[in-house]
A and B are shown apart, each in its own frame.
Chain A
Amino acid sequence: MAVIEYIDAIRLAMKEEMERDEDVFVLGEDVGLKGGVFTTTKGLMEQFGEMRALDTPLAESAIAGVAIGAAMYGMKPIAEMQYSDFMFPATNQIISEAAKIRYRSNNDWSCPLVIRAPIGGGIFGGLYHSQCPESVFFGTPGLKIVAPYRAYDAKGLLKAAVRDPDPVLFFEHKKCYKLVTGEVPDTDYIVPIGEANVLREGDDITVISYSLPLHFIEQAAAELEGEGISTHILDLRTIQPLDKEAVLEAVRKTGKVLIVHEDNKTGGVGAEVSAIISEELLFELDAPIMRLCGPDVPAMPINPPGEKFFMLNKDKVKEAMRNLALY
């Protein structure tokens, strides 16, 4: 089993799915000749031709809308939004169209579409190259939303997304592209959409998160072990639909829960996870539900102290975890 980068795992998933099914194709700005601004689609045009690694005009609503049309015809498009910050012009196509095609046609038409978009900060991208837009789409039934934190899940979830009969938003964290490496089988496997994953078993506190912050949480958990704090970590992996049973089971394990995400706190995924826990397990809790999230500002600044202030890191999550353990 090879150790590869998170970005290589995404590319490998696309390559394998395009080899498996000739209806799978990639479209987006710069995805062809250049191979993507992050090199995510590098080599696909050479292998599959310019129609299947299609450079599109710079127009996100058309990238999504054309992909939706092709999907309704029976193709399996993977539309790339260069940055999730630039996905908002396509929001009408995603929310009014892709999400509702099966429902509004009473199961006559479907939209097997994947939209990939890099999320998150930590690269000095400023306000418009750093956002986490998942809460904009979260709560729109008809969409599935996944956000892998490691290379193995990136490949498996993307392959599952391509094969899914419904539209899937695939949020890949751009900070993970090169920073995160891991063992990825070169075999054909999928990670099922809708299944959370226990990353670490523990008895004192439960931390629930997704995407990049899980790396900080794992590091902090290892250090807190030395302080006698045992951490149970749940990776949601799929944000929508949420794996409710896995959330409840993880919280029951310790009775203390911290929810962590980079997206800002108000109206974020953590608010819904917290509500689920409150509805089902309030009297089994030994501490108030805690959240550690990005601050409620429009987006992160480009100046290094400002970005550092906005971003989560090992120390911030470690402190929050310790506070919860000591509660």
Chain B
Amino acid sequence: MTQFASTGQNARHLELGLSNEQAIEMYTTMLTARKFDERMLLLQRAGKINFHVSGIGQEVAQVAAAFALDRENDYYLPYYRDYGFVLAVGMTLKELLLSVFAKAEDPNSGGRQMPGHFGSKKLRIVTGSSPVTTQVPHAVGIALAAKMKKKSLVSFVTFGEGSSNQGDFHEGCNFAGVHKLPVIFMCENNQYAISVPLHKQLAGKVADRAIGYGFQGLQVDGNDALEVFRVVKEARERAVAGDGPTLIEALMYRLSPHSTSDNDLAYRTKEEVDTNRAKDGIPKFKQYLIDNGIWSEELDEELQLRIRKLLDEATAYGDKAPFPTPESTLLHVYAGDAEQGGIQ
């Protein structure tokens, strides 16, 4: 990026160890996730797809966290709004669209699961389900395996603040605390569990729950990409140094309804949503890049066009791709059943 010679050496992202290219890649990924999400909402409104569960308002923290991890070795247990996260660790728009259209080629589940139920062994994205928080003990188990096998990796798991009330959250945190395991718990606190607001979900802070499990818990502004990057990076350093887990509560706001089946204005006001839209971290990060002389409106327009083209291609590909055969429903209940023609 020699054309941006004006970049100050004391720019915050450089201080944190992110190159100009990486900072721009972060922004590109956030914007891609946002545009993907908006396109899915359109496809649902147009009747092309049945259902979408949105991550709008959460992309900044998701992408920033991913960039702070070792994307060659770490294991990820994302939850169903983590489109930005999975894009940042290597899933493509085409793969997401194959999942959205429930097509055979979908790497997440072969068209079996709802969109947002991620999984890719190649990318170390651990397969997830719909009952919330079951992934937390799994993350702890992977961290336990890493410790037993003396591997320098961490497992990174996300969930909503509603999930922080589930037993599996508490059981998983406690287990990880007792055994000082290399796991990072990141709560994407978007203020709502469907319709139930934060103050009806918990009386204290999610981050403070870590105190009871003997490790560090902290809050971070989920709209501040570089701050999220910093705290996740530090949590990772502690984890691989053998200093145990960290609970990060990233504060954000779910700008979309819970899902396309939800009317959010039945339980919150448009004013509240608009107030939070003004805090959106994506335009803020864009401005940061511009202020540092490494981004411009012209480049942004080019990027938007590029993303639109990729989305068009991915949507067309996903739409046209074949469904799984009906009989394939019988496959993969157990190992080797494909060879036997499936379970009968």
Which one of A56, A69, A101 has the greatest number of beta carbons of chain B within 10 Å?
A69
B331, A96: Cβ atoms closer than 8 Å? no
Q: Say yes or no: is A290 at the interface (Cβ < 8 Å to chain B).
A: no
Q: Say yes or no: is A106 at the interface (Cβ < 8 Å to chain B).
A: yes
Contacts A51-B148, A108-B107; A142 near B134 (Cβ below 8 A): no
A108, B119: Cβ atoms closer than 8 Å? yes
Question: Which residues from chain A contact B335 at a C-beta distance below 8 Å?
Answer: 102, 110, 165-166
B121, A109: Cβ atoms closer than 8 Å? yes
B121, A73: Cβ atoms closer than 8 Å? no
Q: Say yes or no: is A89 at the interface (Cβ < 8 Å to chain B).
A: yes
Which residue of chain B has its CB nearest to the CB of A66? Answer: B141
Contacting chain A: which of B11-19, B57-65, B166-174, B244-252?
A: B166-174
Q: How many residues of B contact A (CB 8 A)?
A: 48
Contacts A57-B174, A93-B134; A103 near B141 (Cβ below 8 A): no
Task: Give chain A interface residues in 79-97, CB to chain B under 8 Å.
Answer: 89, 92-93, 96-97
Interface residues on A, range: 35 or more
Q: Say yes or no: is A287 at the interface (Cβ < 8 Å to chain B).
A: no
A66, B172: Cβ atoms closer than 8 Å? yes
Q: Say yes or no: is B109 at the interface (Cβ < 8 Å to chain A).
A: yes
Q: Of A69, A102, A107, which is within 8 A of B142 by CB?
A: A69
B141, A73: Cβ atoms closer than 8 Å? yes
A92, B172: Cβ atoms closer than 8 Å? no
Q: Of B144, B148, B171, B333, which is within 8 A of A103 by CB?
A: B333
Task: Give chain A interface residues in 47-98, CB to chain B under 8 Å.
Answer: 51-52, 56-57, 59, 61-62, 64-75, 77, 89, 92-93, 96-97
Cα-based distance from A2 to B119 in the complex (angstroms)? 48
Please list 16 pairs of residues, one from A and one from B, whose beta carbons are closer than 8 Å in the complex, sorted by A's number. Answer: A51-B148, A59-B175, A62-B172, A62-B174, A65-B168, A65-B171, A66-B138, A69-B126, A69-B155, A73-B142, A89-B167, A97-B129, A103-B332, A105-B109, A110-B335, A165-B334
Render B150-175 as a binary contact track against A, CB cut-off 8 A, 1 for contact: 00000100000000000110011011
Contacts A62-B137, A92-B131; A104 near B109 (Cβ below 8 A): yes
B112, A65: Cβ atoms closer than 8 Å? no
Which residue of chain B has its CB nearest to the CB of A110? Answer: B335
A107, B332: Cβ atoms closer than 8 Å? yes
A104, B134: Cβ atoms closer than 8 Å? no
Question: Which residues from chain B contact A71 at a C-beta distance below 8 Å?
Answer: 141
Contacts A66-B144, A68-B138; A104 near B333 (Cβ below 8 A): no
